[in-house]
Structure 1
């Protein structure tokens, strides 16, 4: 079955809430203070939970960590887990928690970053001693040229080609994407403090995730890898068996950034690390990013630079209506490619099933007394 992808954040949220209520999920909402969407509406992180009050086993899916990537993640959550009923009819010890639009500002304004230009998946670090990526300082003037009166894609591609020849493709990708903490106007900026979405997510971990004995964690992303392919990227777990367990769940398709087998280079400060830090000892965490490829890496990077230029030079309400926004939209959720969308939904359905099967095979563990809401 194929579902229509939402056309904007407001519709995505409405469809998610409607599907969650129809499924009988327990809902919780966190409203972003001080900001509204382009339509004047609230910007919210919503959670939907199905299952017992104290599950021993818990599947967690997250959409919109990188704002605009929420179009894909929201469609998977609303269509497959809720619409198809995959999150219903679970064993009595198993729950499913859906975290929708973790970065609602980026989702609404078609940005990968949040209201402070922060990459949320680089924000979960100790900001008193941030792990800055020194090579980024070399590439920053290329990605964010000072006083550029207009966005020049040709110049950018030429200079990126020169950097690629100088550094090599792997080192260049790591320099750009690993995360940086010195350039607030730059790309992949991890921030100088814990941002609002991070604080919300840590609350969700403490109140809705911690306490389960076995946790399967899927953070839904787009923009890396072969077009239409859903790559399960290992994101760790606190116990020594986490990687082998993930391999049993997801098979040979599982990749690992630290082993050099993934389309993603190693990153720091991601949401999976926040889950690992927040669940406490004794819980098994099997965490992946499910990454859907869209365009070649250089085109995705050009789109990110174009979007960064837009928001450096225009108010958000004007930037979101710019023709340049078509670049980032195509880079993270191709608008007219029904084949891509079909592949995404088919693969998401498969991976969600693998995660639930993996949890079903886990040995019974302790049950939490904490209510899920």
Structure 2
């Protein structure tokens, strides 16, 4: 067994090492999909996949981390702890459920403390049918001139314009305009891309391979950056289908103690989004009954999160930035998505563990 705090890591390289060592200690094989670029410290990058359970299992639980790179500091800790958790592994094994751990969906962002991929794409806005016209985010078009000013921190004029927008239209409108996803500004934030990213293509390959034999698939995708600090919001992650929503709520709502929210009915802290990653499961595993959630852990207030994303994107556009200022921006970015305290980490593990037990119970109904 590993301690809760010890399951987390201060860098992608250390997180990957802990994950691979945990898998090896559990006697599990490791499937590594090498990323074409290197990490912040020159380390190799990969989407690492570990399956705990037989290849022909009919019930499959996917637990994935780092869809939004920097959020992997949290998600990796959950996965490492789970691989060391004998009680959890026995629970899944005895129920006939195989668990598929996908570590670092976006390893580049994880290592470089970015939300976005090396293509500057928000992976969770990249799952579109690119043969068709892409959605247009007119609200983003309106705020784009405000998001990335020439100087950082923003000057008084920019701050006043942002404050006026929020005062006039509301904080939720500001969040929605920015975060919904957009395909018009490649150097902007929350860019959904114009073609599938490396992570998109690689994930689809993993799903096809490991989901082929499953008749029931559950997916818990680990995220941070929305909601009260340490609180894990279970956000329904699937098509707008009443039966599937009801099934997710039956599995994960804990009799009302841990409610499942939805972007479809406005109950989630998340805005309505497009190009979401979970759509891939319907494409790659159409034979399986799918039920999923995003586990969204709170860190700091949403405006602070948005400002951290803006600052980090500004840094990408200004590589001439002095090292001390760049380090400050990266530290701000990490703090927006990862609260480095023992209490927060304990909250993360306990809620993730609960949701995983709930998923196994749901899969075996």
**TM-score, structure 1 normalization:** 0.90
| Structure-2 residue corresponding to 1:262 | 268
Q: Does 1:334 align with 2:339?
A: yes
Q: 1:47-196 maps to which residues of 2 (within 5 A)?
A: 47-79=49-81, 81-85=82-86, 86-88=88-90, 90-91=93-94, 93-128=96-131, 129-145=133-149, 148-152=150-154, 157-196=159-198
Query: What stretches of structure 1 move > 6 A for 4+ residues in a row?
Result: none
Residue 127 of structure 1: how far off its partner (Å)? 2.3
Distance 1:315 1:192, change over 3 A: farther
Q: Does 1:27 align with 2:30?
A: yes
**In structure 2, C-alpha distance between the alignment counterparts of 1:231 and 1:223, rounded to whole Å:** 11
| Structure-1 residue corresponding to 2:285 | 279
Deviations along 1:267-310, one digit per CA (max 9) or x if unpaired, are 111111111222113x2111110000001111001100110011
| Structure-1 residue corresponding to 2:14 | 11
Q: Conserved in 1, the CA contact under 8 Å of 2:55 and 2:210? A: no
Aligned residue pairs total 355
Q: Conserved in 2, the CA contact under 8 Å of 1:210 and 1:280? A: no
Deviations along 1:95-133, one digit per CA (max 9) or x if unpaired, are 000000000000000000011110000001022421121
Secondary structure, in 3 states, of the residue corresponding to 1:96? strand
Alignment gaps of 5+ in structure 2: none
Distance 1:15 1:157, change over 3 A: farther
| Structure-2 residue corresponding to 1:360 | 364
Distance 1:157 1:24, change over 3 A: farther
**TM-score, structure 2 normalization:** 0.92
Residue 324 of structure 1: how far off its partner (Å)? 1.4
Deviations along 1:42-71, one digit per CA (max 9) or x if unpaired, are 110000001112111000011000000000
Deviations along 1:202-233, one digit per CA (max 9) or x if unpaired, are 10111112331111101100000111100000
- Out of 196, 203, 206, the position equivalent to 2:205 is 203
- Out of 208, 217, 220, the position equivalent to 2:219 is 217
Distance 1:295 1:207, change over 3 A: same
**In structure 2, C-alpha distance between the alignment counterparts of 1:55 and 1:61, rounded to whole Å:** 16
Residue 84 of structure 1: how far off its partner (Å)? 1.1
- Out of 342, 348, 351, the position equivalent to 2:352 is 348
- CA RMSD of superposed structures (Å): 2.0
Residue 153 of structure 1: how far off its partner (Å)? 7.4
**In structure 1, C-alpha distance between the alignment counterparts of 2:156 and 2:9, rounded to whole Å:** 32
Distance 1:134 1:210, change over 3 A: farther
| Structure-1 residue corresponding to 2:327 | 322
